[in-house]
Amino acid sequence: QLKGAVFDLDGVITDTARFHSQAWKQIADKVGDGWDEELADALKGIDRMASLDLILKHGGKQHDFTPAEKTALATEKNTRYLQLVDTLTPADILPGIQDFLDALRAGGYKLALASASKNAPRVLKNLGLTDYFPHIVDPATLTHGKPDPEIFVKAAESIDLAPEACIGIEDAAAGVQGINAAGELSIGIGDAEELHEACIVFPSTAELTLPNIKAAMEKGDV
């Protein structure tokens, strides 16, 4: 019996995955590192410093920067990212998400946010969705990032539910792996191949509805 929903934020509720990529690409270009779509996908769901490490490693530059220089690069990326985030309005909520949140609420489901982003409260505020998420896992409290299940386990705990009573919604392969390892029902949003480990995959948030989830479960896909 499903009683709760654990949401990723970036790339699920709004298209901030694009903003993260845009801001990181500027850093990659600056340090002369090169950028490709595969790298962009690999960064989804990964925390700030780990993302920078992946970018530097991609260009073979992992030994070229001191910790202080890396902190400065991460801060520069975040400053650029926040400029983009502050252009967000409720019109930037992805298709179907507002209705899905309202349907979950009306159905008595509890909601929690499991985002690796330290900027999640600011994004939710700009989208006008703060009230939907009184339970946000603070990524600063985590020992391990996605694909570790920790953030999804903590999210279920925050709404007093067993992981088995929750669906988890993600656009990143690392996130889907974390949801599965936590014992929640994973719903991937995006490319079925990239998210092949998810119990259910919808091509976009427009298909993310309770009837569609129930139909997929009954079809025995899950």
Give the residues lining the site for Mg ion (CB under 5 A).
Answer: 8, 10-11, 171-172
User: Judged by CB under 6 A, does residue 118 bind ligand BG6?
Assistant: yes
Contact range with ligand BG6 by CB under 6 A, out of 9-17, 99-107, 157-165, 182-190: 9-17
- Known catalytic residue at 8: yes
**Residue 107, Cβ density class (10 Å: 0-12 exposed, 13-18 middle, ≥19 buried):** exposed
Q: Which residue has 């409260």 as its token pair?
A: 121
User: Judged by CB under 6 A, does residue 117 bind ligand BG6?
Assistant: yes
Contact range with ligand BG6 by CB under 6 A, out of 42-50, 93-101, 184-192, 199-207: 42-50
- Known catalytic residue at 138: no
User: Judged by CB under 6 A, does residue 135 bind ligand BG6?
Assistant: no
Amino acid at 143: T
CB 43 within 8 A of CB 54: yes
What residue number has its CB nearest to Mg ion?
11
User: Judged by CB under 6 A, does residue 43 bind ligand BG6?
Assistant: yes
Q: Which residue number, 18 or 214, has a Cβ lying nearer to Mg ion? A: 18
**What residues contact 130, with CB distance under 8 A and at least 6 apart?**
121, 124
Residue list 14-33, contact with ligand BG6 (CB under 6 A)? 17, 20
Among 6, 56, 113, 115, binds ligand BG6 (CB under 6 A): 115
Q: What is the dihedral angle through the alpha carbons of 126, 20, 92, 122, rounded to the nearest 10 degrees?
A: -10
Q: Which residue number, 48 or 58, has a Cβ lying nearer to ligand BG6? A: 48
CA distances from 113 to 13, 61, 167 (A): 10, 34, 12
Which helix (H) or strand (E) segment holds residue 188: the answer is strand 185-189
Q: Is residue 116 helix, strand or coil?
A: coil
The Cα 78–Cα 221 span in angstroms is 39
Among 12, 41, 44, 112, binds ligand BG6 (CB under 6 A): 44
Active site residues: 8, 10
Residues that bind ligand BG6 (CB under 6 A): 9-10, 17, 20, 43-48, 51, 78, 115-119
